Amino acid sequence: MQIILGITGGVAAYKSAELARLLVNQGHRVRCILTEAGARFITPLTLSSLTGEPCYGANPDQGEWRANPSIEHIELARWAELVAVVPATANILGKAANGLASDLLSTVLLATRAPVLWAPAMNTGMWEHPAVQANLARLRSFGHAVVEPGAGILACGEEGAGKLAEIAVIAEAIQIHAAPKLRSLAGRRVVITSGPTREDLDPVRLLTNRSTGSMGVELARAFRDAGASVQLVLGGDLPAPWGIETIRVRSAEQMLAACQACWADADGLVAAAAVADQRPEQTAAEKAKKGEGSETLVLVRTPDILATLAAARRPDQWVIGFAAESEHHLEHAAAKLKKKGLDAVLVNDVQAGRAFGPQANTLTPITPQGAHHPLGPLPKDQLARAVVQWWDQRLEAMDSGR
Ligand SMILES: Cc1cc2nc3c(=O)[nH]c(=O)nc-3n(C[C@H](O)[C@H](O)[C@H](O)COP(=O)(O)O)c2cc1C
């Protein structure tokens, strides 16, 4: 993707160099525009060295404007497939919200038809000022995306909101624009369950499993990037991905309740969570004392989330399940597909700890038509994109068959 990276006059400008390099490493072309104040914090040479592209200054007599500077702003505005302003000062937010075009960056922002993404950074008092918040609301009303700043110790020594978001989070927000939108998924609502469930025995002990939730989180990202509006129902401790409504749950019962609250408005479900089949019959309010000799733990069944949602679905809703099997994978998965009336089951081979954690994995899709060619082995982010592409093709085929 062709990205214009606007860099304005805040101390966090030094972090834009890291972002520029990350984006170039991800295969993007990046051209930087420095404002006059931005150029006091970071040099054009740093940015052009990292990007291999010219770095533009605020005016034609600064930076690397070309032969015909009078129309450079229009060329850049057309060249851009995304304009990201990182860090964004209160000043540039105010200018862009009000249509001012007093230097190259503000002019490109006004002239471009590309999506615009802001990562503001400023002192807490500035950030909380109603003028800044009103400007942000206005920019959002234009369809611009905002990666909100976090809280922390700021360059001014104060502690509070206004710290530039993590560079990895900003890169993720940019990535959403780079991925091609898929017709079958764009604008669709998809519920994704992920991670382990935790069934408490007492305040310190619990029953859980080896799932980390990484596959479901990567699937949530891949569906989001394809244009879907994703609701992620997440067990475990992984951080919520940017741009995804994440509902945190602990037990199987909480996961079911969260899914049921979303299901009526959803177009599809991807059930990637590793849900406990049993929970302790009793959860002790106080830490249980050790007894003499052997003890018996009575377990009862947890609700079957996938079967419950599949049974309650409308004909236009689709359901994908996961099967983690250590033997006879395909037979067990085909039986699960049939019993629960699913559209597809993605089969993991969990022998020897494969499938859990961040390493590469393989998934074999099973549909009512039989087993499909395995996807992978791939790292989980790429595997998730392969699943989404495969499912998009199935949806397109199902659609044309109707
Ligand atoms: C040392 C220093 C740090 C600054 N940091 C910020 C900041 O983090 N955020 C901000 O909105 N303005 C900050 N400012 C103020 C801006 O640099 C000033 O508003 C400038 O006019 C912004 O111009 P620009 O938006 O064209 O880059 C800072 C100023 C100085 C001198």
User: What is the domain class of 189-279+295-401 according to CATH?
Assistant: alpha beta
The CATH classification number of 2-178 equals 3.40.50.1950
Q: Give the residue-averaged pLDDT of 20-48.
A: 96
Q: Give the residue-averaged pLDDT of 184-191.
A: 96
Residues 6+ apart with CB under 8 A from 155: 10, 11, 12
- Do the beta carbons of residue 206 and residue 284 sit within 8 Å? no
How many A from CA of 34 to the centre of ligand 1?
12
Q: Give the residue-averaged pLDDT of 7-15.
A: 97
Ligand 1 pocket member 135 (CB < 6 A): no
Residues 6+ apart with CB under 8 A from 220: 192, 194, 230, 232, 241, 244
pLDDT tens digits, 270-284:
999 999 999 999 999
* pLDDT of 66 higher than 70: no
CA 315, 318, 323 angle in degrees (round to 5)? 135
For residue 92, give the ligand 1 atom closest to its CA: 25
Instruction: Name residue 218's amino acid.
Output: E
For residue 9, give the ligand 1 atom closest to its CA: 27
* pLDDT of 61 higher than 80: no
> 3-class SS at 231?
strand
Closest CA to 286 of 228, 356, 205: 205
Identify the band that residue 110 occupies on the pLDDT scale cut at 50, 70 and 90.
very high
Give me the helices (H) in 98-213, please. 104-111, 124-128, 130-141, 167-178
Average pLDDT over the chain, rounded to an integer: 92
**Higher pLDDT residue, 351 or 379?**
379
* pLDDT of 127 higher than 70: yes
* pLDDT of 329 higher than 80: no
Among residues 32, 156, 259, 262, the one annotated as catalytic is 156
* pLDDT of 1 higher than 70: yes
pLDDT tens digits, 204-240:
999 999 899 999 999 999 999 999 999 999 999 999 9
- Do the beta carbons of residue 69 and residue 100 sit within 8 Å? no
Ligand 1 pocket member 257 (CB < 6 A): no
How many A from CA of 288 to the centre of ligand 1?
57
Ligand 1 pocket member 104 (CB < 6 A): no
Identify the band that residue 68 occupies on the pLDDT scale cut at 50, 70 and 90.
low
Least confident window among 149-158, 165-174, 177-186, 372-381? 149-158
Ligand 1 pocket member 361 (CB < 6 A): no
Ligand 1 pocket member 270 (CB < 6 A): no
Give the pLDDT score at 112.
Answer: 96
Give the pLDDT score at 327.
Answer: 72
pLDDT tens digits, 289-304:
888 889 899 999 999 9
Give catalytic status of residue 156 as yes or no. yes
Pairing of strands 145-146, 55-56: unpaired
Q: Give the residue-averaged pLDDT of 6-25.
A: 97
Residues 6+ apart with CB under 8 A from 57: 33, 34, 36, 39, 44, 63, 64, 65, 104
Q: Give the residue-averaged pLDDT of 18-46.
A: 96
How many A from CA of 87 to the centre of ligand 1?
10
- Do the beta carbons of residue 209 and residue 252 sit within 8 Å? no
* pLDDT of 121 higher than 90: yes
Closest CA to 9 of 70, 128, 95: 95
187 alpha-carbon distance from chain centroid: 15
Give the Cα separation of 384 and 361 in Å (integer).
10
How many A from CA of 48 to the centre of ligand 1?
22
Give the pLDDT score at 238.
Answer: 95
Instruction: Name residue 89's amino acid.
Output: T
Give me the helices (H) in 205-290, please. 214-225, 252-263
Q: Give the residue-averaged pLDDT of 34-40.
A: 96
> 3-class SS at 382?
helix
Ligand 1 pocket member 8 (CB < 6 A): yes
Q: Give the residue-averaged pLDDT of 6-15.
A: 97
End-to-end, the C-alpha distance of the chain in Å comes to: 35
Closest CA to ligand 1's atom 1? 11
Quote the percentage of the chain above a pLDDT of 90: 79
pLDDT tens digits, 79-100:
999 999 999 999 999 999 999 9
How many A from CA of 9 to the centre of ligand 1?
4
Closest CA to 319 of 345, 343, 348: 343
Neighbours of 298 (CB within 10 A): 8
Give the helix, strand, coil percentages of the chain, each rounded to 5. Answer: 35, 25, 40
Give the pLDDT score at 67.
Answer: 53
Query: Best mutation site among 7, 89, 128 for ligand 1, i.e. most ligand atoms within 8 A of its Cβ?
Result: 89
Give the pLDDT score at 178.
Answer: 83
Q: Position of tokens 């990202």?
A: 221
* pLDDT of 128 higher than 70: yes
How many A from CA of 89 to the centre of ligand 1?
6
Structural domain spans, the chain: 2-178, 189-279+295-401
